[in-house]
A and B are shown apart, each in its own frame.
Chain A
Amino acid sequence: MRWGRRAASDTPAAADVQRTAIELTGVSHEYGERPVLRDLTLTLAESRVGVVGANGSGKSTFARLLNGLVVPTAGTVRIDGLDTRSQLREVRRRVGFVFQDPDAQIVLPTVAEDAEFGLTNLGIPAEERARQVEEVLVRYGLAGHRDHPAHLLSGGQKQLLAIAGVLVMQPRRVVFDEPTTLLDLANVRRVARVIDELEQDVVVVTHHLDLLAGFDRVLVFEDGRVVADGAPAETVRWYTERMS
């Protein structure tokens, strides 16, 4: 485990991983006068990356950088070689984003209609959309609810629908911003299992540290900086001691 900032050149075989990695170079971001990220330089080539930190530490802004929801006020963010500033559409096609509150992510009235929304935006033909929606609803146990109003689903089902709505677009990476914060224990486990089974590379921002077991790398954010970066067991232990 390393403390303090990590330079891109520190990463093994940096030149080789650039095309299949998340790269931040000199990234800073401010909301008005308030700095939330300070001069971040790091490369994430791992398949499972966890992000932890106290409220206001900058981790959600960091997550939003990864699919261009936030464009940094300084520095560059590249996803698999694509610049989030100049190649935003390609970046968004490649990186799915799951929000903390599924109610804000579900935009259409019924389950199937919402699952279909992203595919419609991609211009997928109707028959193919229907097939893919069916597949994803079955996969996440929502097939029996396809015509139900989305607001009548339980919290866990809503989060699964939010995840289904992202995964049906077949992104190469998925960023989760505190996906389990509003869920009960059973649904936390359910969502954890879903994340665990994903083929895509994932970045998970979370306060549920159990979620990070089996991850490849964990970053600890504090005051807009990465203050710890390493394997999950020791990084989470360090973070827990620091917070106690």
Chain B
Amino acid sequence: MTVSLYVPLASPVHRAPAGLKLGLLAALAVALFVVDRPEVVGAALVVVVAVGLLVARLPARSLWAQVRPVWPWLVLLLLFHGVFTDWRTGAVTTLRLLALVVAAAVVTSSTRVTELVAVVEWLARPLAVFGVRPARVGLVIAMTLRFIPLIAERAHRIREAQAARGAARMRWGILVPLLIQVLRLATTLGEALDARGADAPVTPPRRRAGASTS
């Protein structure tokens, strides 16, 4: 299981600021929901795919990997509209969602998690008046992305251990051992954050586009 989808390349899209990319993604979403002409929405899809493949130079398989899970739902949506409303509405709705999924894939594949998190931290800055520390918000999001696959892996190991002892169908039986493991992990993680200076009262500097470690 992979949550981090970043594909390290040196393209203009990769170099663009994360805030700009997220802003354009949001603007595209609004625009696509305002327009309801299939040729315009289809053209937007073509442009987004072209930007992903030709400008960002992302491999087709990395875009497809993010489209693949939603593909059956898009087909069902088209069929639903075809049967219950009309094919034109179905085409617009399906193309609209597909364009947004591809656009989101281009953004996540060309942007490091830390850059996305920096934007979230910037957006969270107004919350500082309520005592919220934006850097902590960003750290929580980044750590969530880091630990989702790890916890999924631990759940898989518990399932394997249970299956090896003849308890393959214990669906809920995974909860208690997983909870214990997660709590232990959280204790050590807290210590690790302390040991690595996460309690320091320093506002983490943002990664700059030109300061890539790659």
A134–B213 touching, CB < 8 Å: yes
Contact of A101 among B6, B188, B193 (CB under 8 A): B188
Chain B: CB-nearest residue to A134: B213
A173 within 8 A of B: no
A107–B188 touching, CB < 8 Å: no
Please indicate the chain A residues that have their CB under 8 angstroms from the CB of B145 in the complex.
109
- Chain B binding surface SS class: loop
- The 8 A CB mask of A70-90 against B (1 = contact, 0 = none) is 000000000000000000010
Contact of B200 among A89, A127, A129, A133 (CB under 8 A): A89
CA distance A107 to B207 in the complex (A): 17
A130–B113 touching, CB < 8 Å: no
Please indicate the chain A residues that have their CB under 8 angstroms from the CB of B199 in the complex.
89
16 further contact pairs, Cβ within 8 A, besides A67-B195, A104-B185: A103-B150, A104-B188, A107-B139, A107-B189, A110-B113, A113-B142, A116-B213, A121-B202, A123-B200, A123-B205, A129-B205, A133-B213, A146-B8, A147-B8, A166-B195, A166-B196
A160 within 8 A of B: no
The 5 A-B pairs with the shortest beta carbon distances in the complex, nearest first, are A121-B197, A104-B188, A126-B211, A147-B8, A97-B195
Contact surface of A with B, Cβ cutoff 8 Å = 64, 67-69, 89, 92-93, 96-97, 99, 101, 103-110, 112-118, 120-127, 129-130, 133-134, 137, 146-147, 149-152, 165-166, 169
A108–B143 touching, CB < 8 Å: yes
A150–B205 touching, CB < 8 Å: no
Known contacts A107-B189, A108-B143, A109-B3; A120/B205 CB under 8 A: yes
B39 within 8 A of A: no
Known contacts A92-B197, A104-B185; A146/B146 CB under 8 A: no
B196–A121 touching, CB < 8 Å: yes
Chain B: CB-nearest residue to A127: B211
B177 within 8 A of A: no
B195–A112 touching, CB < 8 Å: no
Chain B residues within 8 Å of chain A by Cβ, number: 40
Known contacts A108-B146, A150-B146; A99/B206 CB under 8 A: no
Contact surface of B with A, Cβ cutoff 8 Å = 2-4, 6, 8, 112-114, 139, 142-143, 145-146, 149-150, 153, 185, 188-189, 191-200, 202-208, 211-214
Between A and B, 15 residue pairs with Cβ closer than 8 Å are: A69-B191, A104-B188, A105-B188, A105-B192, A107-B192, A108-B113, A108-B146, A109-B145, A110-B6, A116-B114, A121-B196, A124-B205, A127-B211, A146-B214, A147-B6
B135 to chain A, nearest CB (A): 9
CA distance A134 to B211 in the complex (A): 11
CA distance A116 to B112 in the complex (A): 13
B193–A107 touching, CB < 8 Å: yes
